[in-house]
Amino acid sequence: MELPMYDTLLSLPLFQGMSQADFNSLLQKIRLDFVRYEEGGSIISAGDRCKSFAFLINGTVESSREGMDGNLSFMEQIDAPFLIEPYSMFGRAGSYQRTYTAVTPCSFLMVDKQYIYTELGKYNICRMNLLNILSGRVQQLDSHLWTLEGASLRDRIIRFIKGLSDTQTGIKKLSIKMNDLAVLMDATRLNVSRELNALEAQGHISLRRKEIFIPALENLI
């Protein structure tokens, strides 16, 4: 394996901190499938079964999801390196919650989920990395819920967008009617409109018909 690719694999969330000896031993026991997608290519669809850990190792993908009632949809762009929905691998559903499309030509490393039980679980660092990834997701959602109380309307809007996001940086797009957003924020349509227009005037968002475009979530936060 070429050195740049070797270093890239060691930088992935599940393998971070592994010694080279352990990683070399692991590579001899598990199957690594490398898949390339061209710009616009369909990678994963919401509802697909989670059969493999999907590591984005280069490129950019678009993640999208619709609300159950169809009144809102959310899109974000995600750059490599990134592990796609590790929290969807286990539990009752066991299926992806979002749809992923290639924004640029990108490459994925696929590791069959069975190897978590047969091989990866033998390495303490892999177990701890996976536990940290899943715990981080739970803590993020818990913090989001408990910081809404007493927050200003602007903070509630920002935290709502943060809660929909898998990453806290980059491009996001929330498609929703103003009235529906006002209901979710427990505020009047007029007050929500004022806050959004103020954020647009400050350059943090762009307002389009039934759409809020965030060019860089880290700046909005």
116/123 Cα distance (integer angstroms): 10
CA distance 167 to 218: 10
Sorted by sequence, the CB contacts under 8 Å of residue 19 that are 6+ apart come out as none
Distances (CA, A) of 141 to 147, 155, 164: 10, 16, 9
Please choose, from the candidates 32, 35, 93, 87, the residue with its C-alpha nearest in 3D space to the C-alpha of residue 61: 35
* Domain 3-60+79-138: which CATH number of 2.60.120.10, 3.40.50.10490, 3.40.50.300, 3.10.20.30: 2.60.120.10
150-203: pLDDT as tens digits:
689 999 999 999 989 999 999 999 999 999 999 999 999 999 999 999 999 999
Mean pLDDT of 50-55: 91
* CATH class of domain segment(s) 147-220: mainly alpha
Is residue 115 within 8 A of residue 2, CB to CB? The reply is no
Residues spanned by CATH 2.60.120.10 within the chain? Answer: 3-60+79-138
60-69, 101-110, 137-146, 185-194: which range is least confident on average? 137-146
Mean of pLDDT values over 21-45: 91
